Chains A and B, each alone.
Chain A
Amino acid sequence: MEALLHQIFAGLASGSIYASIGLALVMIYRSTHHLNFAQGEMATFSTFIAWWLIEGGWPYWGVFVFTVAVSFAGGVLLQRLVLRPLEKAPVLTNVIVFIGLLVIFNALSGWLFDYTIKAFRSPFPRDAFYASRFLSAHEVGAMVVMLCVLAALYLFFRFSSLGLAMRAAAQNPESARLVGIRVSWMLAIGWGLAAAIGAVAGMMVAPIVFLDPGMMAGILLYGFASALLGGIDNPWGAVVGGLIVGVLENLLGAYIIGTELKLTVALLLIVAILTLKPDGLFGRTTVSRV
Protein backbone atom coordinates (compact mmCIF):
# COMPACT_ATOMS: atom_id res chain seq x y z
CA MET A 1 0.00 0.00 0.00
CA GLU A 2 2.73 2.40 0.94
CA ALA A 3 4.62 1.59 -2.25
CA LEU A 4 1.47 2.28 -4.25
CA LEU A 5 0.98 5.65 -2.56
CA HIS A 6 4.59 6.46 -3.20
CA GLN A 7 4.15 5.73 -6.91
CA ILE A 8 1.01 7.85 -7.11
CA PHE A 9 2.65 10.84 -5.44
CA ALA A 10 5.74 10.55 -7.60
CA GLY A 11 3.40 10.39 -10.60
CA LEU A 12 1.69 13.61 -9.55
CA ALA A 13 5.09 15.29 -9.20
CA SER A 14 6.25 14.36 -12.69
CA GLY A 15 2.68 14.96 -13.91
CA SER A 16 2.89 18.60 -12.87
CA ILE A 17 5.93 18.98 -15.15
CA TYR A 18 4.10 17.30 -18.05
CA ALA A 19 1.14 19.53 -17.32
CA SER A 20 3.19 22.68 -17.71
CA ILE A 21 4.76 21.53 -20.98
CA GLY A 22 1.25 20.59 -22.13
CA LEU A 23 0.08 24.04 -21.07
CA ALA A 24 2.82 25.70 -23.13
CA LEU A 25 1.75 23.66 -26.15
CA VAL A 26 -1.91 24.59 -25.65
CA MET A 27 -0.97 28.26 -25.31
CA ILE A 28 0.37 28.33 -28.87
CA TYR A 29 -2.13 25.85 -30.29
CA ARG A 30 -5.13 27.90 -29.17
CA SER A 31 -4.13 30.98 -31.13
CA THR A 32 -2.38 29.46 -34.14
CA HIS A 33 -3.65 25.87 -34.39
CA HIS A 34 -0.08 24.66 -34.62
CA LEU A 35 1.76 22.31 -32.26
CA ASN A 36 5.18 23.65 -31.45
CA PHE A 37 7.52 20.64 -31.67
CA ALA A 38 10.40 22.84 -30.53
CA GLN A 39 8.74 23.60 -27.17
CA GLY A 40 10.86 21.03 -25.31
CA GLU A 41 14.20 22.07 -26.80
CA MET A 42 13.40 25.74 -26.17
CA ALA A 43 12.80 24.85 -22.51
CA THR A 44 16.09 22.94 -22.39
CA PHE A 45 17.94 25.91 -23.84
CA SER A 46 16.39 28.20 -21.21
CA THR A 47 17.47 25.73 -18.52
CA PHE A 48 21.05 25.83 -19.83
CA ILE A 49 21.03 29.62 -19.54
CA ALA A 50 19.92 29.21 -15.92
CA TRP A 51 22.62 26.57 -15.28
CA TRP A 52 25.30 28.85 -16.74
CA LEU A 53 24.24 31.77 -14.53
CA ILE A 54 24.07 29.60 -11.41
CA GLU A 55 27.57 28.30 -12.19
CA GLY A 56 28.57 31.95 -12.53
CA GLY A 57 27.58 32.47 -8.91
CA TRP A 58 24.23 34.20 -9.25
CA PRO A 59 21.63 33.53 -6.52
CA TYR A 60 19.09 30.85 -7.51
CA TRP A 61 15.88 32.86 -7.41
CA GLY A 62 17.51 35.78 -9.20
CA VAL A 63 18.49 33.38 -11.95
CA PHE A 64 14.99 31.93 -11.96
CA VAL A 65 13.31 35.28 -12.54
CA PHE A 66 15.93 36.38 -15.06
CA THR A 67 15.65 33.13 -17.05
CA VAL A 68 11.87 33.36 -17.20
CA ALA A 69 12.11 36.97 -18.43
CA VAL A 70 14.76 36.17 -21.03
CA SER A 71 12.73 33.18 -22.24
CA PHE A 72 9.63 35.34 -22.56
CA ALA A 73 11.53 37.89 -24.62
CA GLY A 74 13.09 35.11 -26.69
CA GLY A 75 9.67 33.60 -27.42
CA VAL A 76 8.29 36.97 -28.50
CA LEU A 77 11.33 37.59 -30.70
CA LEU A 78 11.06 34.13 -32.26
CA GLN A 79 7.45 34.75 -33.25
CA ARG A 80 8.25 38.20 -34.65
CA LEU A 81 11.27 37.11 -36.68
CA VAL A 82 10.57 33.53 -37.69
CA LEU A 83 6.86 32.77 -37.44
CA ARG A 84 5.20 36.05 -38.31
CA PRO A 85 6.22 35.82 -41.97
CA LEU A 86 4.54 32.39 -42.00
CA GLU A 87 1.18 33.43 -40.55
CA LYS A 88 -0.61 32.67 -43.81
CA ALA A 89 1.64 29.75 -44.82
CA PRO A 90 0.27 26.19 -45.05
CA VAL A 91 0.47 23.80 -42.07
CA LEU A 92 3.31 21.78 -43.54
CA THR A 93 5.54 24.86 -43.80
CA ASN A 94 4.98 25.53 -40.11
CA VAL A 95 5.66 21.91 -39.16
CA ILE A 96 8.98 22.01 -41.02
CA VAL A 97 9.90 25.27 -39.31
CA PHE A 98 9.08 23.79 -35.88
CA ILE A 99 11.26 20.76 -36.62
CA GLY A 100 13.98 23.12 -37.81
CA LEU A 101 13.74 25.07 -34.55
CA LEU A 102 13.91 21.82 -32.58
CA VAL A 103 17.16 20.84 -34.30
CA ILE A 104 18.60 24.36 -34.02
CA PHE A 105 17.89 24.71 -30.29
CA ASN A 106 19.16 21.22 -29.60
CA ALA A 107 22.40 21.89 -31.49
CA LEU A 108 22.76 25.33 -29.92
CA SER A 109 22.50 23.82 -26.41
CA GLY A 110 25.12 21.20 -27.25
CA TRP A 111 27.44 23.63 -29.00
CA LEU A 112 27.37 26.32 -26.31
CA PHE A 113 27.21 24.10 -23.23
CA ASP A 114 28.45 20.72 -24.59
CA TYR A 115 26.74 17.36 -24.41
CA THR A 116 27.95 16.11 -21.03
CA ILE A 117 25.26 15.46 -18.45
CA LYS A 118 25.16 18.14 -15.77
CA ALA A 119 23.68 18.26 -12.32
CA PHE A 120 21.21 21.12 -11.85
CA ARG A 121 20.63 22.60 -8.44
CA SER A 122 17.30 22.44 -6.68
CA PRO A 123 16.29 25.54 -4.71
CA PHE A 124 14.51 23.37 -2.15
CA PRO A 125 16.74 22.08 0.70
CA ARG A 126 16.72 18.28 0.92
CA ASP A 127 15.74 18.23 4.61
CA ALA A 128 13.00 20.86 4.41
CA PHE A 129 10.00 20.34 6.69
CA TYR A 130 7.70 19.63 3.69
CA ALA A 131 9.79 16.64 2.63
CA SER A 132 8.09 13.35 3.45
CA ARG A 133 8.34 9.65 2.88
CA PHE A 134 6.25 10.01 -0.24
CA LEU A 135 7.63 13.14 -1.84
CA SER A 136 11.07 14.71 -1.74
CA ALA A 137 11.40 18.40 -0.94
CA HIS A 138 12.14 19.12 -4.58
CA GLU A 139 9.05 17.29 -5.79
CA VAL A 140 6.85 19.22 -3.39
CA GLY A 141 8.54 22.48 -4.33
CA ALA A 142 8.21 21.81 -8.07
CA MET A 143 4.51 21.09 -7.67
CA VAL A 144 3.97 24.30 -5.71
CA VAL A 145 5.87 26.32 -8.31
CA MET A 146 3.76 24.79 -11.08
CA LEU A 147 0.58 25.60 -9.16
CA CYS A 148 1.73 29.21 -8.79
CA VAL A 149 2.36 29.42 -12.54
CA LEU A 150 -1.13 28.09 -13.15
CA ALA A 151 -2.74 30.51 -10.74
CA ALA A 152 -0.87 33.43 -12.27
CA LEU A 153 -1.97 32.42 -15.77
CA TYR A 154 -5.55 32.00 -14.64
CA LEU A 155 -5.62 35.45 -13.06
CA PHE A 156 -3.94 36.97 -16.12
CA PHE A 157 -6.37 35.51 -18.67
CA ARG A 158 -9.44 35.91 -16.51
CA PHE A 159 -9.01 39.45 -15.23
CA SER A 160 -6.49 41.49 -17.21
CA SER A 161 -7.35 43.42 -20.36
CA LEU A 162 -4.34 41.99 -22.16
CA GLY A 163 -5.45 38.46 -21.28
CA LEU A 164 -8.94 39.21 -22.58
CA ALA A 165 -7.51 40.64 -25.79
CA MET A 166 -5.40 37.50 -26.24
CA ARG A 167 -8.42 35.24 -25.79
CA ALA A 168 -10.39 37.34 -28.27
CA ALA A 169 -7.57 37.26 -30.81
CA ALA A 170 -7.34 33.48 -30.49
CA GLN A 171 -11.08 32.96 -30.93
CA ASN A 172 -11.96 35.38 -33.68
CA PRO A 173 -8.98 37.21 -35.17
CA GLU A 174 -11.06 39.20 -37.65
CA SER A 175 -13.43 40.60 -35.02
CA ALA A 176 -10.46 41.23 -32.75
CA ARG A 177 -8.87 43.46 -35.41
CA LEU A 178 -12.16 45.31 -35.80
CA VAL A 179 -12.13 46.32 -32.13
CA GLY A 180 -8.53 47.50 -32.55
CA ILE A 181 -6.55 44.54 -31.14
CA ARG A 182 -3.12 44.05 -32.72
CA VAL A 183 -3.63 40.33 -33.31
CA SER A 184 -0.12 39.59 -34.49
CA TRP A 185 1.33 40.99 -31.26
CA MET A 186 -1.08 38.86 -29.24
CA LEU A 187 0.40 35.78 -30.95
CA ALA A 188 3.88 37.00 -30.09
CA ILE A 189 2.95 37.42 -26.42
CA GLY A 190 1.45 33.91 -26.51
CA TRP A 191 4.81 32.62 -27.75
CA GLY A 192 6.55 34.52 -25.00
CA LEU A 193 4.29 33.02 -22.33
CA ALA A 194 4.76 29.52 -23.74
CA ALA A 195 8.54 29.94 -23.69
CA ALA A 196 8.41 31.28 -20.13
CA ILE A 197 6.26 28.37 -18.90
CA GLY A 198 8.65 25.97 -20.64
CA ALA A 199 11.60 27.60 -18.88
CA VAL A 200 9.98 27.08 -15.47
CA ALA A 201 9.24 23.46 -16.33
CA GLY A 202 12.82 22.96 -17.50
CA MET A 203 14.30 24.37 -14.30
CA MET A 204 11.98 22.24 -12.20
CA VAL A 205 12.64 18.98 -14.05
CA ALA A 206 16.41 19.36 -14.51
CA PRO A 207 17.30 18.47 -10.87
CA ILE A 208 15.36 15.20 -11.34
CA VAL A 209 16.42 14.04 -14.81
CA PHE A 210 19.78 15.92 -15.00
CA LEU A 211 20.55 18.50 -17.62
CA ASP A 212 21.67 17.62 -21.14
CA PRO A 213 20.54 18.81 -24.59
CA GLY A 214 18.17 15.86 -25.02
CA MET A 215 16.61 16.29 -21.57
CA MET A 216 13.16 17.28 -22.82
CA ALA A 217 12.72 14.80 -25.68
CA GLY A 218 10.71 12.30 -23.66
CA ILE A 219 9.01 14.94 -21.54
CA LEU A 220 7.73 16.70 -24.67
CA LEU A 221 6.00 13.47 -25.67
CA TYR A 222 4.35 13.27 -22.24
CA GLY A 223 3.43 16.94 -22.70
CA PHE A 224 1.76 16.14 -26.04
CA ALA A 225 -0.11 13.27 -24.43
CA SER A 226 -1.25 15.57 -21.57
CA ALA A 227 -2.44 18.30 -23.91
CA LEU A 228 -4.30 15.83 -26.12
CA LEU A 229 -5.84 13.98 -23.19
CA GLY A 230 -7.22 17.24 -21.79
CA GLY A 231 -8.47 18.47 -25.16
CA ILE A 232 -5.84 20.32 -27.12
CA ASP A 233 -7.42 23.77 -26.84
CA ASN A 234 -8.24 23.60 -23.14
CA PRO A 235 -5.54 24.88 -20.72
CA TRP A 236 -7.15 23.34 -17.64
CA GLY A 237 -7.59 20.09 -19.53
CA ALA A 238 -3.85 20.06 -20.19
CA VAL A 239 -3.17 20.36 -16.47
CA VAL A 240 -5.54 17.56 -15.48
CA GLY A 241 -4.27 15.54 -18.43
CA GLY A 242 -0.69 16.03 -17.27
CA LEU A 243 -1.43 14.76 -13.77
CA ILE A 244 -3.30 11.74 -15.14
CA VAL A 245 -0.48 10.92 -17.55
CA GLY A 246 2.09 11.26 -14.76
CA VAL A 247 0.29 8.88 -12.43
CA LEU A 248 -0.61 6.43 -15.19
CA GLU A 249 2.93 6.32 -16.48
CA ASN A 250 4.33 5.72 -13.01
CA LEU A 251 1.89 3.00 -12.02
CA LEU A 252 2.17 1.13 -15.32
CA GLY A 253 5.94 1.48 -15.16
CA ALA A 254 6.14 0.16 -11.60
CA TYR A 255 3.65 -2.68 -11.73
CA ILE A 256 2.97 -3.78 -15.29
CA ILE A 257 5.32 -2.92 -18.11
CA GLY A 258 8.55 -1.92 -16.36
CA THR A 259 10.45 1.35 -16.55
CA GLU A 260 12.02 0.68 -19.94
CA LEU A 261 8.67 0.82 -21.70
CA LYS A 262 7.28 3.87 -19.86
CA LEU A 263 7.62 6.23 -22.80
CA THR A 264 5.54 3.83 -24.87
CA VAL A 265 2.63 4.70 -22.59
CA ALA A 266 2.76 8.28 -23.85
CA LEU A 267 2.89 7.19 -27.48
CA LEU A 268 0.05 4.71 -27.05
CA LEU A 269 -1.98 7.35 -25.29
CA ILE A 270 -1.42 9.84 -28.11
CA VAL A 271 -2.49 7.34 -30.76
CA ALA A 272 -5.46 6.15 -28.71
CA ILE A 273 -6.77 9.66 -28.07
CA LEU A 274 -6.36 10.75 -31.67
CA THR A 275 -8.23 7.74 -32.98
CA LEU A 276 -10.86 7.23 -30.29
CA LYS A 277 -11.61 10.64 -28.81
CA PRO A 278 -9.86 13.44 -30.70
CA ASP A 279 -11.46 16.16 -28.54
CA GLY A 280 -9.87 14.71 -25.42
CA LEU A 281 -11.59 14.68 -22.03
CA PHE A 282 -12.42 18.38 -21.88
CA GLY A 283 -12.36 19.51 -25.52
CA ARG A 284 -14.29 22.68 -26.17
CA THR A 285 -17.85 22.48 -27.31
CA THR A 286 -19.22 25.92 -28.02
CA VAL A 287 -22.95 26.35 -28.11
CA SER A 288 -23.99 28.76 -30.81
CA ARG A 289 -27.35 30.01 -31.97
CA VAL A 290 -27.68 31.79 -35.27
Chain B
Amino acid sequence: MPRLLEVRGLEAFYGSTQALFGLDFGLAIGAITALLGANGAGKTTTLRAISQMVTVSGSIVFDGEELVGKPTETVARRGIAHVPEGRGTFVALTVEENLRLGAITRRDLPAVAADMQRMYERFPRLGVRRHQQAGTLSGGEQQMLAIARALMLRPRLLLLDEPSFGLAPRIVAEIFQIMRQINREDRVSMLLVEQNAQSALDISHEAYLLETGRTVRSGPSKDIRLDEKVRRTYLGM
Protein backbone atom coordinates (compact mmCIF):
# COMPACT_ATOMS: atom_id res chain seq x y z
CA MET B 1 0.00 0.00 0.00
CA PRO B 2 1.48 3.39 -0.96
CA ARG B 3 2.38 5.63 1.96
CA LEU B 4 1.46 9.31 2.09
CA LEU B 5 3.61 10.07 5.12
CA GLU B 6 6.57 8.04 6.30
CA VAL B 7 8.08 8.79 9.71
CA ARG B 8 11.44 7.25 10.70
CA GLY B 9 13.34 7.60 13.97
CA LEU B 10 11.44 10.75 14.96
CA GLU B 11 12.73 12.49 18.06
CA ALA B 12 11.28 15.75 19.38
CA PHE B 13 12.48 18.19 22.00
CA TYR B 14 11.01 21.01 24.07
CA GLY B 15 14.17 22.89 24.96
CA SER B 16 16.36 20.18 26.46
CA THR B 17 13.44 17.90 27.35
CA GLN B 18 13.00 15.03 24.95
CA ALA B 19 9.37 14.12 24.23
CA LEU B 20 9.61 11.56 21.40
CA PHE B 21 12.15 8.73 21.36
CA GLY B 22 12.52 7.38 17.86
CA LEU B 23 9.00 7.07 16.52
CA ASP B 24 8.36 5.01 13.38
CA PHE B 25 5.04 5.02 11.58
CA GLY B 26 3.41 5.52 8.25
CA LEU B 27 0.09 6.80 6.96
CA ALA B 28 -1.76 5.14 4.12
CA ILE B 29 -3.19 7.33 1.36
CA GLY B 30 -6.87 7.98 1.90
CA ALA B 31 -6.98 6.39 5.34
CA ILE B 32 -7.84 7.66 8.79
CA THR B 33 -5.05 6.79 11.21
CA ALA B 34 -5.47 7.15 14.96
CA LEU B 35 -2.78 7.89 17.51
CA LEU B 36 -3.80 6.59 20.92
CA GLY B 37 -2.16 6.87 24.28
CA ALA B 38 -2.35 8.35 27.75
CA ASN B 39 -1.66 11.96 28.65
CA GLY B 40 1.97 12.81 28.02
CA ALA B 41 2.55 9.89 25.67
CA GLY B 42 3.57 12.27 22.91
CA LYS B 43 0.47 12.35 20.71
CA THR B 44 0.20 16.11 20.41
CA THR B 45 3.98 16.37 20.08
CA THR B 46 3.88 13.99 17.13
CA LEU B 47 1.47 16.29 15.30
CA ARG B 48 3.53 19.34 16.24
CA ALA B 49 6.64 17.55 14.98
CA ILE B 50 5.02 16.91 11.59
CA SER B 51 4.15 20.62 11.36
CA GLN B 52 7.69 21.53 12.48
CA MET B 53 6.47 23.43 15.52
CA VAL B 54 8.99 21.71 17.81
CA THR B 55 12.66 20.89 17.42
CA VAL B 56 12.89 17.51 15.69
CA SER B 57 15.42 15.05 14.39
CA GLY B 58 14.83 11.98 12.29
CA SER B 59 12.90 11.87 9.06
CA ILE B 60 9.37 12.81 8.02
CA VAL B 61 8.77 12.21 4.33
CA PHE B 62 5.49 13.54 2.89
CA ASP B 63 4.71 12.50 -0.65
CA GLY B 64 8.41 11.98 -1.38
CA GLU B 65 9.57 15.24 0.24
CA GLU B 66 11.51 15.57 3.50
CA LEU B 67 9.76 17.94 5.93
CA VAL B 68 12.30 18.04 8.76
CA GLY B 69 13.97 21.45 8.83
CA LYS B 70 11.28 23.22 6.79
CA PRO B 71 9.35 26.12 8.37
CA THR B 72 5.80 25.48 9.61
CA GLU B 73 4.25 27.64 6.88
CA THR B 74 5.97 25.58 4.17
CA VAL B 75 4.58 22.35 5.62
CA ALA B 76 1.11 23.90 5.41
CA ARG B 77 1.73 25.02 1.83
CA ARG B 78 2.65 21.43 0.89
CA GLY B 79 -0.91 20.39 1.79
CA ILE B 80 -0.86 19.41 5.45
CA ALA B 81 -3.60 21.15 7.43
CA HIS B 82 -3.29 21.06 11.20
CA VAL B 83 -6.20 21.58 13.60
CA PRO B 84 -4.21 22.25 16.74
CA GLU B 85 -4.93 21.62 20.39
CA GLY B 86 -7.32 24.36 21.50
CA ARG B 87 -8.52 24.75 17.88
CA GLY B 88 -6.37 27.76 16.96
CA THR B 89 -9.36 29.95 16.11
CA PHE B 90 -8.72 33.59 15.19
CA VAL B 91 -11.18 34.70 17.86
CA ALA B 92 -11.31 38.41 17.00
CA LEU B 93 -12.02 37.74 13.32
CA THR B 94 -15.33 36.71 11.82
CA VAL B 95 -16.22 33.16 10.84
CA GLU B 96 -15.92 34.09 7.19
CA GLU B 97 -12.49 35.66 7.70
CA ASN B 98 -11.35 32.50 9.48
CA LEU B 99 -12.39 30.45 6.46
CA ARG B 100 -10.72 32.88 4.05
CA LEU B 101 -7.53 32.47 6.08
CA GLY B 102 -7.69 28.72 5.68
CA ALA B 103 -7.37 29.24 1.91
CA ILE B 104 -5.00 32.21 2.10
CA THR B 105 -2.21 30.40 0.23
CA ARG B 106 -4.46 29.34 -2.64
CA ARG B 107 -4.59 31.30 -5.90
CA ASP B 108 -7.64 29.59 -7.47
CA LEU B 109 -10.08 32.18 -6.14
CA PRO B 110 -13.28 31.00 -7.85
CA ALA B 111 -12.69 27.52 -6.40
CA VAL B 112 -12.06 29.06 -2.98
CA ALA B 113 -15.43 30.80 -3.11
CA ALA B 114 -17.08 27.53 -4.11
CA ASP B 115 -15.34 25.69 -1.27
CA MET B 116 -16.51 28.31 1.20
CA GLN B 117 -20.09 27.70 0.02
CA ARG B 118 -19.62 23.95 0.47
CA MET B 119 -18.38 24.48 4.03
CA TYR B 120 -21.52 26.46 4.84
CA GLU B 121 -23.60 23.60 3.44
CA ARG B 122 -21.66 21.00 5.39
CA PHE B 123 -21.69 23.06 8.58
CA PRO B 124 -24.96 25.02 8.36
CA ARG B 125 -24.41 26.66 11.73
CA LEU B 126 -21.25 28.33 10.44
CA GLY B 127 -23.28 29.74 7.57
CA VAL B 128 -25.73 31.32 9.98
CA ARG B 129 -22.89 32.87 11.96
CA ARG B 130 -20.61 33.82 9.10
CA HIS B 131 -20.36 37.50 10.05
CA GLN B 132 -20.08 36.85 13.76
CA GLN B 133 -16.82 37.13 15.71
CA ALA B 134 -15.41 33.59 15.93
CA GLY B 135 -14.70 33.95 19.65
CA THR B 136 -18.42 34.14 20.36
CA LEU B 137 -19.12 30.69 18.91
CA SER B 138 -19.83 27.71 21.17
CA GLY B 139 -17.14 25.07 21.66
CA GLY B 140 -18.70 22.69 19.16
CA GLU B 141 -19.12 25.44 16.57
CA GLN B 142 -15.51 26.49 17.06
CA GLN B 143 -14.37 22.91 16.49
CA MET B 144 -16.42 22.78 13.29
CA LEU B 145 -14.92 26.10 12.25
CA ALA B 146 -11.43 24.75 12.92
CA ILE B 147 -12.07 21.70 10.73
CA ALA B 148 -13.69 23.81 8.02
CA ARG B 149 -10.78 26.26 8.08
CA ALA B 150 -8.33 23.36 7.70
CA LEU B 151 -10.32 21.94 4.78
CA MET B 152 -10.24 25.30 2.99
CA LEU B 153 -6.58 24.56 2.28
CA ARG B 154 -7.73 21.54 0.26
CA PRO B 155 -5.24 19.49 2.22
CA ARG B 156 -4.00 16.06 1.28
CA LEU B 157 -3.44 15.30 4.94
CA LEU B 158 -5.45 16.60 7.87
CA LEU B 159 -3.92 16.50 11.35
CA LEU B 160 -6.57 16.60 14.07
CA ASP B 161 -5.65 17.15 17.70
CA GLU B 162 -8.42 15.94 20.02
CA PRO B 163 -11.45 17.17 18.11
CA SER B 164 -13.71 15.78 20.86
CA PHE B 165 -12.04 17.74 23.67
CA GLY B 166 -14.50 19.42 26.02
CA LEU B 167 -17.56 18.75 23.84
CA ALA B 168 -20.89 17.11 24.61
CA PRO B 169 -21.21 13.49 23.34
CA ARG B 170 -23.90 14.47 20.85
CA ILE B 171 -21.63 17.10 19.29
CA VAL B 172 -18.70 14.68 19.26
CA ALA B 173 -20.81 12.13 17.37
CA GLU B 174 -21.80 14.82 14.86
CA ILE B 175 -18.21 15.90 14.31
CA PHE B 176 -16.95 12.32 13.87
CA GLN B 177 -19.77 11.71 11.41
CA ILE B 178 -18.64 14.72 9.38
CA MET B 179 -15.00 13.60 9.52
CA ARG B 180 -15.92 10.19 8.16
CA GLN B 181 -17.89 11.85 5.39
CA ILE B 182 -14.99 14.16 4.49
CA ASN B 183 -12.60 11.23 4.40
CA ARG B 184 -14.87 9.25 2.12
CA GLU B 185 -16.08 11.99 -0.23
CA ASP B 186 -13.06 14.28 -0.45
CA ARG B 187 -10.48 11.49 0.04
CA VAL B 188 -8.61 13.53 2.64
CA SER B 189 -6.20 11.37 4.63
CA MET B 190 -6.29 12.02 8.36
CA LEU B 191 -4.08 11.57 11.37
CA LEU B 192 -6.27 11.72 14.44
CA VAL B 193 -5.09 12.19 18.02
CA GLU B 194 -7.73 11.18 20.54
CA GLN B 195 -8.19 10.54 24.23
CA ASN B 196 -11.51 8.96 23.40
CA ALA B 197 -10.11 5.61 22.20
CA GLN B 198 -13.52 4.10 21.50
CA SER B 199 -14.59 6.73 18.96
CA ALA B 200 -11.11 6.91 17.49
CA LEU B 201 -10.99 3.15 16.85
CA ASP B 202 -14.52 3.27 15.40
CA ILE B 203 -13.63 5.84 12.80
CA SER B 204 -10.03 4.92 11.94
CA HIS B 205 -8.61 2.29 9.61
CA GLU B 206 -5.27 1.98 11.34
CA ALA B 207 -4.07 2.84 14.82
CA TYR B 208 -0.83 3.33 16.71
CA LEU B 209 -0.52 3.13 20.46
CA LEU B 210 2.00 5.53 22.02
CA GLU B 211 3.67 5.22 25.42
CA THR B 212 6.22 7.78 26.67
CA GLY B 213 7.25 8.84 23.20
CA ARG B 214 7.46 5.40 21.58
CA THR B 215 5.04 3.28 19.54
CA VAL B 216 4.17 0.10 21.43
CA ARG B 217 1.37 -1.34 19.26
CA SER B 218 0.27 -0.80 15.69
CA GLY B 219 -2.09 -2.36 13.23
CA PRO B 220 -5.55 -2.22 11.70
CA SER B 221 -7.98 -0.60 14.13
CA LYS B 222 -10.20 -3.69 14.26
CA ASP B 223 -7.23 -5.72 15.53
CA ILE B 224 -6.04 -3.06 17.98
CA ARG B 225 -9.51 -3.02 19.44
CA LEU B 226 -9.09 -6.68 20.39
CA ASP B 227 -5.64 -6.19 21.92
CA GLU B 228 -5.72 -7.16 25.59
CA LYS B 229 -3.64 -4.22 26.80
CA VAL B 230 -5.62 -1.66 24.80
CA ARG B 231 -8.90 -3.12 26.00
CA ARG B 232 -7.84 -2.97 29.63
CA THR B 233 -6.13 0.41 29.67
CA TYR B 234 -7.97 2.51 27.13
CA LEU B 235 -11.36 0.95 26.58
CA GLY B 236 -12.06 -0.07 30.16
CA MET B 237 -13.15 -3.59 29.29
- Which residues of A does B touch, CB under 8 Å? 161, 164-165, 167-168, 171-172, 174-183, 284, 286-290
Contact = CB atoms under 8 A, between A and B. Distances in A.
B214 interface: no
Contacts of B84: 174-175, 178
A171 B101 contact: no
A290 B140 CA distance: 9
A176 B89 CA distance: 10
Contact of A179 (B74, B92, B102, B135): B102
B3 to A, nearest CB: 23
B77 A175 contact: no
A35 B73 CA distance: 27
Contacts of A289: 135-139, 142
Interface residues of B, number: 33
**In the complex, the 7 A-B pairs of residues with the closest C-beta atoms, listed nearest first:** A175-B88, A180-B76, A180-B105, A177-B72, A288-B135, A180-B77, A178-B82
Contacts of A168: 90, 93, 97, 101, 104
B71 interface: yes
Contact of B136 (A167, A172, A177, A287): A287
B57 interface: no
B129 interface: no
B171 interface: no
Contacts of B53: 174, 177
A174 B73 contact: no
A287 B76 contact: no
A181 B91 CA distance: 17
Given A178-B84, A181-B105, 10 more contacts: A165-B101, A168-B97, A175-B88, A177-B73, A177-B76, A178-B51, A178-B82, A180-B74, A181-B101, A287-B136
B104 A180 contact: yes
A175 B139 contact: no
A161 B76 contact: no
B92 A180 contact: no
Contacts of A174: 53, 84, 88
B91 A288 contact: yes
Contacts of B101: 164-165, 168, 176, 179, 181
Contacts of A165: 101, 104
Given A287-B136, A289-B139, A183 B93 contact: no
Nearest to B76: A180
B193 interface: no
B92 A284 contact: yes
B153 interface: yes
